[in-house]
Amino acid sequence: MRRLLTGLLLTAVLLPVQALGAGNGRTSAVNPATGGHSLKELWSGYHYSSPEIRNLQDSDSDNPAMKLYDKGEAAWKKAEGRANKSCSSCHGDAAKSMKGTAARFPAYFKLSKKPLTLESRINLCRVKFMQARPLPSESDSMLALAIYVKRQSKGMAVSVSGDGPLKPFLRKGKNYFTDRRGQLNISCAGCHDKYAGQRYRAVKINQGHANGFPVYRQSLKKTGSLLRQVNQCLARVRATPLKAGSDQLTNLELYLSWRASGLEVETPAVRE
Amino acid sequence: MRMVIRTICMCVAASAVLLGASYEGYAGHERKKVRKVVRSSASCSAGASASVARFKIEKGEALPAAIPKPLTRKPGDAKRGLEATVNPGKGNCLACHHIAKVLAKVEAGDKKSVAAYGNHGEVGPPLNGVGGRYSKAELRMIVVNPQKAFPDTNTVMPAYHVRARNKDVSRACRGRVMLSAQSIEDIVTFLEELK
């Protein structure tokens, strides 16, 4: 009898937790999908944004980054390079072939012997199969294509296990996140793991998730990649910036995606 | 290509450092404008200094470490201390701490004064009454190197007068302290008066 009662009590306690796990990270918390997590519950940057910013993200017609989506759609179909191929020549309809891609990137590639970010993967395709020039980081053409591809996974849960060959890279990314650096000697974790929800001067600190990039920043009036955001943080602690396409950035993005697993892909997100 | 990326990164870094932590300051930048900023600033930040004062650490009353003797011969000035506390390129204490005395300087409706004195962070404890909680020697230790003052807390507060031997310090800030000895004395004098 007592065992039954304890069981019932346990279910009663666990049920709301499970309900939390079904959240979207914007209006309800998400339980970390992966073990050994530094956060108890996951909240998207959306949760820490003002109502105006949320409205901008919620409406496709108002979201300024959606202009790039249209550009990306055109780029997807445009043949380029010496091979005279487009993305669609091989991948067909992005709505089918790219569905879920953003949720599982950065992914490990045997040929490269390391994980690649989606942006690096796009450039690999361009150079190798289209025989076209790689798109420069932060250029409108790269942001447009990244937004178009990632958008196909909108609403799907980020799911990066970091197992198998990814393990050593995940560890490096975690170390980058937790090591103190810069003249201010502060780690990413020092703010985003510990003080999310609290103000740093006029800004509300968020959990630093990578589920909405490329992101339109209202204060900058421009869409940008994860690299732009990371380098802005690094500038604040007066540390050396990361380079586009560098292994350090890829490993960090891998760790961030592992850390954000369970949150929904929100590309293109809008933030302060 | 690599040069271009490096230049852009440096622009972003320099502008954010120069304009401090406020998003408003960083907002609406155009590449041209940022380039100009970089050209005019070879330094790390408004408050950074290449010279480091010598000081002796002793045991405090409330804290395990304190610096009883001033870092400079010239006494600190509370008014300059308040400005350094507020300035994003200097102490930027406001980024993490609430200070009622600073908030009182906000003139309602004046955007400039709100931006300068109005936005107080919540990361650290409020500094109201801090002059009553710690001696001047302890306040000096906290600002110079908080990790020595609070050894068990793993605090995120930066050390303002320790030559940076940290990882990945930006090129402009390498070998520099965040605040000059004089600014430390000014801030400590300002904090001492918060009773």
Among residues A219, A190, A206, A192, which one has the least CA distance to residue A266?
A206
ipTM greater than 0.90: no
Residue of B nearest to A196 (CA): B123
CB pairs under 8 A between A and B: 129
From chain B, the residues in CB contact with A243 under 8 A are: 2, 5-6, 9
Nearest CB to A203: which of B23, B171, B172?
A: B23
Cα B106 to Cα B112: distance, rounded to the nearest angstrom: 9
Q: Check if B94 contacts A (Cβ < 8 Å).
A: yes
Nearest CB to B158: which of A184, A232, A240?
A: A184
Tell me whether residues A220 and B21 touch, CB distance under 8 A: no
Q: Check if B73 contacts A (Cβ < 8 Å).
A: no
- State mean pLDDT over A69-87: 97
Residue type, position B74, single letter? K
Checking DSSP bridges between strand A114-116 and strand A107-109, what pairing results, if any? antiparallel
Q: Check if B3 contacts A (Cβ < 8 Å).
A: no
Among residues B103, B185, B162, B8, which one has the least CA distance to residue A235?
B8
Cα A66 to Cα A5: distance, rounded to the nearest angstrom: 54
The more confident residue out of A265 and B34 is A265
Q: Check if A64 contacts B (Cβ < 8 Å).
A: no
Per cent of chain A over pLDDT 90 is 88
Residue to mutate among A38, A172, A179, A183, with most B CBs inside 10 A, is A183
Tell me whether residues A236 and B9 touch, CB distance under 8 A: no
Q: Check if A134 contacts B (Cβ < 8 Å).
A: no
The answer, yes or no, to whether residue A185 has pLDDT greater than 80, is yes
Tell me whether residues B120 and A219 touch, CB distance under 8 A: no
Q: Check if A243 contacts B (Cβ < 8 Å).
A: yes
Nearest CB to B26: which of A181, A219, A239?
A: A219
Lowest mean pLDDT among B12-16, B29-33, B157-161: B29-33
Q: Are B195 and B131 in contact (CB under 8 A)?
A: yes
* Least Cα separation, residue B153 to chain A (angstroms): 12
Collect contacts of B58-62 with beta carbons under 8 A, ≥24 apart.
B58/B137, B60/B134, B60/B135, B60/B137, B60/B138, B60/B141, B60/B149, B61/B135, B61/B138, B62/B133, B62/B134, B62/B135, B62/B138
Residue-wise pLDDT tens digits, B41-55: 447 999 999 999 999
pLDDT at B63: 97
pLDDT at A5: 52
Residue to mutate among B168, B171, B174, B176, with most A CBs inside 10 A, is B168
Active site residue A87: no
Tokens of A5: 């009662």
Q: Are A21 and A42 in contact (CB under 8 A)?
A: no
Residues 6+ apart with CB under 8 A from A202: B22, B23, B24, B119
Residue of B nearest to A204 (CA): B121
Please count the residues of chain B.
195
- State mean pLDDT over A102-115: 96
Nearest CB to B95: which of A136, A201, A239?
A: A201
Residue A23: band (very low, low, confident or very high) from pLDDT cuts 50, 70, 90: confident
User: What is the pLDDT of chain B when averaged over all its residues?
Assistant: 84
Tell me whether residues A185 and B23 touch, CB distance under 8 A: no
Cα B120 to Cα B112: distance, rounded to the nearest angstrom: 15
Chain centroid, CA A107 distance in Å: 13
Longest CA span, chain A = 76
Checking DSSP bridges between strand A215-217 and strand A269-271, what pairing results, if any? parallel
